[in-house]
Amino acid sequence: MSKWAYAFGATGLGLILWSTVVWATGVPHFILPSPWRVAQAGWDSSSLIGVNALVTATEVVTGLVVGAVLGVISAIQLANSDRLYRLVMPLLIFTQAVPVFALAPILTLWFGYGMASKVVMAVLIIYFPVTSAFYDGLTRVPRDIVDMARAMNGTRWQIMRRIKIPHALPSLGTGLKLAAVYAPIGAVIGEWVGASKGLGYLMLLANGRAKTDLMFASLITLAAMTICLYVLVDKVATRLRPD
């Protein structure tokens, strides 16, 4: 069976289990709506969900691109200087020790309720995985290859550009796939703290009005968007792998 067949099978099984739980427990629909109610709410509010999904997608993609570029640049600089690595890496690890949820109100205060604070949140979440994965790839080039390049009078940047970076591209692909999954988290957290648009904002709005079916429809839309982004990034990562 193809991976798509397994994916559709898993989705169908999940819907059956969901429907069975709702039917067997008799739980009120404002607590756990049935898949049919969620689908109906998604159809009835398709325009509203689409507009807000576009806002969240813009935040996620922008954060992913900015975070990936910054991560690549940082990893190259850290791999080129052991002193810089020993100085900067503890700071990067410390930033990961601080819960990003706690930073959301501060970022909203600094950057406002618009798109900027959500993009910064996404960048903060994905920056470290991309930097760490790419740095690992850059520093795991076989030593004999680097020594041979130096014996042929290769400069530090020539070795980086022609040997280390090509060797580390698969590691970069791994970091980008992690980033594709994490980026929507940052954007949605920012929308929960303060926003007037986006799927996170729509979920809070629906929850406040007891429209649980609309909240689930927005959540499923966010999950589908994340899966599509991951598949797209995975295709890019596959091209980065050596033949």
Model pLDDT for residues 73-104, shown as the tens digit of each residue: 988 888 888 788 888 888 877 777 777 777 77
- Distance between CA atoms of 202 and 199, rounded to whole angstroms? 5
Residue linked to tokens 């903060």: 124
Say how far apart CA 45 and CA 51 lie, in whole Å: 10
Q: How many residues does the chain have?
A: 243
Residue 116 exposed, middle or buried by CB count within 10 Å (0-12, 13-18, 19+): middle
What is the model's pLDDT at position 70? 92
- Angle among Cα 223, 62, 219 to the nearest 5 degrees reads 15
Query: 141 is written with which tokens?
Result: 């080039």
How far is residue 162's CA from residue 85's CA, in Å, rounded to a whole number?
Answer: 22
Chain centre distance of CA 15? 25
Contacts of residue 1, defined as CB under 8 A and 6 or more positions apart, other chains included, come to 9
Question: In the chain, which stretches have pLDDT less than 50?
Answer: none
Are 220 and 41 a contacting pair, CB within 8 Å? no
Residue 129, Cα to own-chain centre: how many angstroms?
A: 10
Closest C-alpha among 204, 206, 210 to residue 192: 204
**Assigned fold of 34-240:** MetI-like fold (1.10.3720)
Q: What is the pLDDT of residue 187?
A: 84
For the chain, what are the domain ranges? Answer: 34-240
